[in-house]
Structure 1
Amino acid sequence: MNDRERRDFEAGLAQEVDAFLRSESTRRTFITRFGQMTGLLAVSGSALTAVTDWALAQQAAELADPSTPLGQAQALALKASQEGPKDGSAFRAVEAAKQFSGVTLNLTYEAGLQALDPRNFSGPMWEQLTGIKSAVVELSNPDMYSKPVAEHIANSGAYDVLDISPAWTPSLADGGVIAPLDDYIAKYMNKADLDDYHPLYKALPTYKGKIWGFFDDGDMFALYYRKDIFEDPKLKEAYQAKFNAELAPPKTWDEYNRIAQFITDQLAPNVYGAGHFRKAGSPGNQFDFLQQFRASGGKLFDDSMKAGIASDAGLKTLQSMIASNAASIPGNNELDAVSLWAAFLTGKVAMIYSWPPTGRMAANYSQSAKAINFIPQSQIAGKVGYAVVPGNPEHATGFNKALAAGSSNLEAAYLYMQWVTSPPVSLARVMLPYALRDPYRLSHFKSELYAGLFPSAKEYLYNLNNSANVGLLDPIMPGAQDYFLSIDRMCTEVWAGGDPDAALKTAAAEMNATTERLGVDSQKAFYAEFLKLPGATADNTVEKLGMAVKLD
């Protein structure tokens, strides 16, 4: 396959996906023949298994030292799967799945660290328990959406279990790409496990009254700050004298910018007040804008589905982000998430907000795995505090496990999904130092084993729970990625010196064009479904709905 063939295929696939989203007929012949000719689609499910079976065949479930919290969690997961309790979802899934021994399930995962869990831990353990093999198909994040759609159009049956962004659920469900789980849940699951999800996450796979997957990754932003800096007597005295206020973790964005600028003025170039991943496409700009915009009262769309970002709330948000940039480490606007982690871990930044691996890395827990060789050892271990992001933090993407409707192993694939997301197994998975799956169940937040991973792990878990109580969800609707890209381009233009008001209007026009391309009426219906979810707006967070989880 040459570059021209790839470009032709990708262009054609984009057109087909758009048609799919509009519920129009698609050109199955184009997708099937051209995709298979160029190698961009699987000829069949068996073609995919060869990619990774050679590695899985050489592995057994590698369990950690049984004297460690991780080793104990893994042993408990194995015990729950083999011995019960008999009504537990893990045990019931394993017992039912043994009839499918010898089957191979094709699992899509985001390429990189995400795939290490099924390769090294859960996949081998599942095979050991049931005789069912797994082949991990690593895909880029955009391909995790487009490839299952293309395989569905081609009717290839290439995938069994899909890792998908919650934002994709409506279009994949309406398009028949994924299958509802309700009948399988009624037959196999201990229903109490559904109530073990934090309320922000419980409803995420629900669409039009049906359940289309199991939530599997609590990607909640939280604030991480240097306690030694915030508790420094001289800095506290200087801050009190200047602002007549205590130097403490910020509760508002104005406080955040004021504190960041104060620390930068006092300690730079040794330490800067803040840092952000603002690099175009990193992603970060859209998540940051969405959380601040909605916390400031902004509405993404009005009643006619016109984009609402070109507003006072939008301008206020961009001005706040510009002030944050000015108070940040040099090169802030070119940082991605990994480079920001490096700056924080090496002590160059006093506070950041990011995904949950930040806390594990800051404590040097993640670095205990050889796979985490892309970040430095933490120089701030034991000095990090946790707080809720000012206003309302973003639940920035995350993953659902969904059942590919075209799978020839539907029941076996469902049983794997039930097992791998069950309370005891999922706890062991979110405790893996090398994996990027983050806590999402109440039993995760309350786990004494997880709390034993590093000295401040209990505080870290409680803060993730508290953040979810007031957290906001990414928009869950077709076109979400296009809306995100418009916001990202807008921010990047402003960081380069562009006029904020003009950039907002341009991005709003782009978002309106996306809505019109996908159909105003259908997008309005999708958006209305999204607004029913806890966390869709700052007015209906889990806390404001009276469902907040309080941990002792």
Structure 2
Amino acid sequence: MKRKFFQLSTVLIVVVLISALFLIGGKGKKEAPEVVVPEEAVMRVGSQKERAEALAKQYAGVTVTILTEGIAAGPPMAFAKQFEEATGVKVKVIPSPYTETMSRPLVEHEAGTGAIDIYRIVPDWVPDFAVAGVIQSIDDLVKKYMTEEDLADIEPGRLLATMYYEGEIWGMLMDGDIFILYYRADIFEDPEAMKQFKAKYGYELAPPKNWEQYNQIGQFITDFTGGKVYGGAGVRAPGQAYFWFNQLFKGAGGMHFDPETMKPLINGEIGRQTMQQLVKELEFGPPGMVNWGITELWSGFVDGKVAMHFAWPPGGRFAEAASGLANYPTWLPPTKIAGKIKYALLPGPFKGEGPPGAGMMGNGFWVLSSDSRNREATFAFMMWMNSAEMALKTSLYANSLMDPYRLSQFEAPEYQAAWPNASLYLETLREAGKYALVPTKMLGGTEIDEIIDVAVTSVMGGMPIQAALDEAVKKMEAVVNRLGRDRVKATYKDLTKMQEEIHS
């Protein structure tokens, strides 16, 4: 109860602050402090990394501060010294709980401290933070210091789903977070398991094509292993459970709103099917899964207790640490499944045939605080960390939460050879980008995600599915009415347009 109370308290703070800043600030986009750039302009020559270093050198002695989720602090802390030695710009990293990365930017902005330059956030939060004046567009800086080639190396689905909002670039992608399926190939390819499965269900034991198959496979593995390995698992605890709802809901073609009327639609047939699926997985999942967060999910997988799950990519690298990757996360048990896993795209439909489910984009997005007093120096560090060279380094830093998002990363021989199945891992992650689902990146999206999260955890606690969804719809209606139906509608149309462009 304490954990849930903390989550709801955080949401309340966010709702109050966003609403207040929205009403006070109108459009909410705050002008960034003026910074005088030396006449020796940075030429757009050399690699992105070299240009970032040249820009940063003009601000030697400045300190850039970043607020990030604690378990994502590894790479910026690991490479801060290298950046300082190359440029003279210091980097201070503040690790924080996930929920604080949502609330603290609003608190800092309201107080006008200017203490934080970079926030690591979820892309969903961009519209709310932008309208509240908490963050600023970096579109002008990207056009000034980056080239078309720099951006062309970023996988298109991830680029559109994260960096763009209303036609402008609002942050720098640092992490190619996307959902794919991770499964125990040693169990799926076990001759006896394959024989028994086909005899029971009439088709081959292989990655599922729909969620009905996922359930059948999951239950079979739990039974086949006598509960020593559970067929599947997922996140159901407060805070990030909405990602799992959104993956199934949007992957099956669900829309949060009617784009013309902005009537919430999550309490319809696809919403009910989504909730039913989330509940169904508890039947073949590990005991206590209703309280599992991402740490518990990854722990259960690398410990060999879960045969199949879908989540963000780090779990795939963590599971292979024994195959040669260093700096294994201290917050996970030692992996027991190195060399035993494979990867696949997620199912889309609940039953029958259909295209694969698009991966749900997640975290790993750096944005520039509107109150930063070191705008260009801050951008230089963001640009440096986003460069092809540093992206490869950070994605191979084993306890990193930064996953590949650049085409050059997917194709890098060093990454391809990182473990025996690394090429399949990279191929699957790259393919998933073609089906990328745009997060709830719309005005009010922060609240909508939290409303869905509460609905999921309420159902996990025993609340009837329809009642939970109907209650969520009422809350979503209230958000739309409070923020202004036309304004919310415009941002939702921007989201759907972006989604169509990715899938075209």
2:54 to 80, 85, 95: 95
1:256-293 deviation line (CA, Å, top 9, x unaligned): 11111122222222222111221233x2x311211211
User: Structure 1 residues 393, 209: CA separation in 2 closer, same or farther (over 3 Å shift)?
Assistant: closer
Match of 1:106 in 2: 65
Which structure 2 residues correspond to residues 83-482 of structure 1 after superposition, within 5 A? 86-110=45-69, 112-121=70-79, 123-203=80-160, 204-281=162-239, 283=240, 285-302=241-258, 303-364=260-321, 372-391=329-348, 392-482=357-447
Equivalent position of 2:32 in the other structure: none
SS at match of 1:477: coil
The Cα shift of 1:14 comes to 5.2
Deviation of the 1:141 alpha carbon: 2.9
In 2, the alpha carbon distance for the partners of 1:519 and 1:437 equals 36
CA contact (8 A) 1:160 1:403 kept: yes
Relative distance call for 1:494 and 1:175 in structure 2 (3 A) is closer
Do 1:19 and 1:25's aligned partners in 2 also have CA atoms closer than 8 Å?
no
Q: Distance in 2 between matches of 1:289 and 1:255?
A: 18
**8 Å contact from structure 1 (residues 219, 438) kept in 2:** yes
Unpaired segments ≥5 residues, structure 2: 1-7, 28-42, 349-356
> Aligned partners of 1:428 and 1:528: how far apart in 2?
37
Match of 1:507 in 2: 472
CA offsets per residue over residues 445-504 of structure 1, 9 Å max, x none? 111111222221111111111122212122102332322222222222322333222222
How far the C-alpha of 1:255 sits from its partner, in A, is: 0.9
The one-letter code matched in structure 2 to 1:238 is Q
- What is the letter of the counterpart of residue 221 of structure 2? I
The Cα shift of 1:369 comes to 5.0
Change (3 A) 1:450 1:252: same
Task: Report the CA distance shift for 1:192/1:509 in structure 2 as closer, same or farther (over 3 A).
Answer: same
Q: Provide the C-alpha distance between the structure 1 equivalents of 2:419 and 2:453, rounded to a whole number of angstroms.
A: 35
Q: Do residues 533 (structure 1) and 498 (structure 2) align?
A: yes
In structure 2, the CA distance between the partners of 1:129 and 1:438, relative to structure 1 (3 Å rule), is: same
Change (3 A) 1:16 1:182: closer
SS of match in other structure, 2:232? coil
Provide closer, same or farther for how the CA distance between residues 357 and 199 of structure 1 changes in structure 2, counting only shifts above 3 A: same
SS of residue matched to 2:286? coil
What is the CA–CA distance in structure 1 between the aligned matches of 2:369 and 2:25, rounded to whole Å? 21
In the alignment, the residues of structure 2 paired with residue 311 and residue 497 of structure 1 have an alpha-carbon distance, to the nearest angstrom, of 19
Q: Which has the higher contact order (CA 8 A, sep 6+)?
A: 2
Number of residue pairs matched?
472
Cα deviation, residue 378, structure 1 = 1.4
Distance in 1 (alpha carbons) for counterparts of 2:249 and 2:486: 25
Note the residue ranges of structure 1 that are not aligned, 5 or more in a row.
1-6, 27-83, 535-539, 546-552
> What SS does the aligned partner of 1:382 have?
coil
With over 3 angstroms needed to count, the CA separation of the structure-2 counterparts of 1:497 and 1:157, relative to structure 1, is: closer
Amino acid of the structure 2 residue aligned with 1:115 = A
Between 167-176 and 338-347, the greater mean CA deviation after superposition: 167-176
In the aligned structure 2, how far is the partner of 1:429 from the partner of 1:467?
Answer: 20
1:89 is displaced (CA, Å) by 1.1
Q: Secondary structure of 2:367's partner?
A: strand
Q: Could you say what secondary structure the match of 1:395 adopts?
A: coil
Partner of 1:43: none
**Distance in 2 between the 1:97 and 1:496 partners?**
51
| Partners of 1:242 and 1:463 in 2: CA distance | 29
Counterpart of 2:479 in 1: which secondary structure? helix
| Cα distance in 2 between the residues matched to 1:541 and 1:446 | 24
| C-alpha spacing 1:323/1:150, structure 2 compared with 1 (3 Å) | closer
**How far apart are 1:248 and its partner, in Å?**
0.5
Residues 119-159 of structure 1, C-alpha deviation per residue, up to 9 Å, x if partnerless? 222x1111000111111123333333433333333333222
Return closer, same or farther for 1:151/1:329 CA change in 2, 3 Å cut-off. closer
Instruction: Provide the residue aligned with 2:18 in structure 1.
Output: 17
Deviation at 1:300?
0.5
Work out the CA distance in 1 between the residues paired with 2:498 and 2:482: 25
1:346/1:380 contact within 8 Å kept? yes
Partner of 1:100: helix, strand, or coil?
Answer: coil
Alignment CA distance shift 1:131-1:445 (3 Å): same
Residues of 1 paired with 2:14 and 2:223: CA distance? Answer: 51
Q: How does the TM-score come out when normalised to structure 1? A: 0.80
Mapped partners of 1:276, 1:12: distance in 2? 28
1:473 counterpart SS class: coil
Amino acid paired to 2:18: V
- Cα distance in 2 for partners of 1:269, 1:148 equals 44
Q: 1:159 to 1:177 in 2, by over 3 A?
A: same
Change (3 A) 1:179 1:306: same
Classify the secondary structure of the residue corresponding to 2:463.
coil
Q: For residues 178 and 512 of structure 1, do their structure 2 counterparts lie closer, same or farther at Cα, with a shift above 3 Å needed?
A: same
Q: Could you tell me which of 443, 463, 483 is aligned with 1:498?
A: 463
